[in-house]
Chain A
């Protein structure tokens, strides 16, 4: 249903390394858990569609219109945000990290999904003034690699999510 394309909807241009900015952008994903990310963006989209119902009220099946918008928008935005995070952290290479080390971690998939956004930003904040800063930043970078992997797989997650949404949306009243 949804197909991953090796491109962004909008150019990402972050020129300077900025792990703090990366942490802020990560907070834009919408929640502490990855599932919340999907739920939140869908909820927001439903609310905005309800507000704009005069643009869809004449359609034969407004639920379809809502579902379509709910499912496209978060994907675009998540992909762009993830690339911003990644761009803001790309200078980590200069922190004397072995390229092979990063490659190894790129392949490592054994990271728990739950709580992962909160965990990395909290750890980064609490330790940012300590000597462990570099180590924490590397962890953030690793997680971003992992994040990209999730986004790559997200279309199929969204598809599964859609089925649940159909049930929910069928009971939304329309004027």
Chain B
């Protein structure tokens, strides 16, 4: 069965163009022009993924995002002209998985939709073992290997990596990582997070100066990318 995508945008032309592209890709599409309508549709015909605009009349995009998160962990992709880092962090903290700013590349958007649907379908539960290129992570044994050789990680590096990998494909904010790994009191310590990520890259990236897996979203956080 084809995946269903819920498109929420108050601009008719954007809804039309998105619907056309998504239908061409084989998805079934439900469209809403307000947050209230989106939530009604979400309950009526539950989608597999939501593409959500932030600047909506009535209920704001962020409120819709939080309301969807109360119902489900299904992927939410924000598509908005509001593209400052503050907007992005607010959306991600409200439960969004990813963010694209308008005007956007349709191919880029379709690629992200595919990636999130694949991640969601293949790994509805956190995996115990992950293979990323030459890198293998075994969460049960707490062992990370690169081309068969064990990589020595500090406890903090391991925890940061584990959090990023278990959220692979999603953008996670500095605050989320710090809160998860260090605890709520350390939410502001972005500087030390950067140091740990730099060390981690030296240990797991083929070329740490040009990261492949552990990507920086400047001013927002990080994204761990699974190839494919």
**Do A and B belong to a common assembly?**
no
B residues whose Cβ falls under 8 Å from a Cβ of A: none
